[in-house]
Structure 1
């Protein structure tokens, strides 16, 4: 594909993925009862010591469920990755884990509920990759760039190779090992996950080739990938991270076993 046409296609894809969700949040901002506009979500569930996740739905039923990560920093405060607005009881549970300090908006698509968290926690630092800053600031002011501030907390920011600049992968230090957070460049929409959280949209997700495996999707290859070989090699390098305990993606079930091997399998899909 012509690089200019691919770039235009990616921009249209971004727009399609953000338009309905931003419209939903704009409506909720003027609602009499903001809690009534919060989308359904799972309870806060533990993945590892000091690491939790929440699964939430999207405004348009055609979109797959989304994942939020909560990570307790060494000072006892919380880092939120890809925020999901929660019902009040769940927000209180979240606050019992620690006070939110950092909010990572991972890319221009996953900004739906960032302003909700900034409103509730005015002191929270909104963080995003440098490449995403202009787009994130369309909905909330960015306080810090991820590449600059996160290493201060022992978090390694991995820049994807062979992918159109849009997001980072984050390596978190756990007491039991390491966790890797991805956003849209890897999916893990297993049948069990879709049956639980998006049974109505499962046929569409499977039809467009986004479900049933851990790896970059067909749409990801079309709109995000610029160099298949470079991306494959990058995944293989990440698969060498020692003691990798958790892999989280923005859309799909977290991986808690054989994480290194799962990354190698995702890379092998690109051969």
Structure 2
């Protein structure tokens, strides 16, 4: 794990993209030996001029102006302990924002900033979930956008990195299983999935959401109309 950042440090990143009314997302790059590995931040408007930021990543000032235009950051959602790299400077910038993580990741996240809570009322449009069968260390989020579509935001459990940059990223992709096609990651299977049956049931339940239009993973490309994929991934857990 890289050393936690104390100050606002802008690493290479793309442009914020509006994927639906009230939902912005951006891909950043984590420098690593002989390559760069993608990570994603998603910003969700939750009403009353507030936002929830899933997996915070520092952007340049133009990018942060877009984030702040969507609303005041009210929640910093750290989906597991591995995504705390930039939490400390984010909390310095937005001290009123509440830090939220999964119960099993609270101790790790507290190493970056405090206080940390494991529940959050995000209003009528968004909910966070602790992944089933994963020792309560990984969060996901469901968002109903302003046009009536539903977005599922996941973290390290599903990877979809099709084009890693550099040989180092390609090696990590192979070892940790974040791609090149949508899949349950090797990292998830190795480190935190303990009850495959429970997780498979949760994936199938999500696939039944009639308004589900996209899945946004923390690592990799957005997946449109993901219901069939969720069922396939659930099946793969049972093999």
Query: Could you state the TM-score of these two structures normalised by the residue count of structure 1?
Result: 0.79
Max radius of gyration: which structure? 1
1:178 maps to what in 2?
150
Structure 1 residue 140, shift from structure 2 partner: 0.6
Q: Structure 1 residues 117, 151: closer, same or farther in 2, change over 3 A?
A: closer
1:189 maps to what in 2?
161
1:263 maps to what in 2?
230
1:45 maps to what in 2?
17
C-alpha distance in 2 between matches for 1:115 and 1:153: 28
C-alpha distance in 2 between matches for 1:134 and 1:100: 23
1:109 maps to what in 2?
82
Structure 1 residue 250, shift from structure 2 partner: 1.1
C-alpha distance in 1 between matches for 2:115 and 2:36: 26
Structure 1 residue 144, shift from structure 2 partner: 3.4
Q: What is the aligned counterpart of 1:57 among 29, 42, 45?
A: 29
C-alpha distance in 1 between matches for 2:220 and 2:121: 24
RMSD of the alignment, in Å? 2.1
1:222 maps to what in 2?
190
How many residues align? The count is: 235
Query: Could you state the TM-score of these two structures normalised by the residue count of structure 2?
Result: 0.88
Q: Structure 1 residues 138, 206: closer, same or farther in 2, change over 3 A?
A: closer
SS at 1:80 equivalent: strand
Structure 1 residue 262, shift from structure 2 partner: 1.9
The structure with more helix, counted as a fraction of residues: 1
C-alpha distance in 1 between matches for 2:166 and 2:212: 31
2:135 maps to what in 1?
164
Deviations 1:221-248 (A, max 9, x none): 1222212233222211211122102211
Q: Is the 8 A contact 2:53 2:73 kept in 1?
A: yes
Structure 1 residue 83, shift from structure 2 partner: 0.1
Structure 1 residue 21, shift from structure 2 partner: 4.1
Structure 1 residue 151, shift from structure 2 partner: 5.3
C-alpha distance in 2 between matches for 1:126 and 1:158: 15
The structure with more strand, counted as a fraction of residues: 2
Q: Is the 8 A contact 1:47 1:246 kept in 2?
A: no
2:174 maps to what in 1?
207
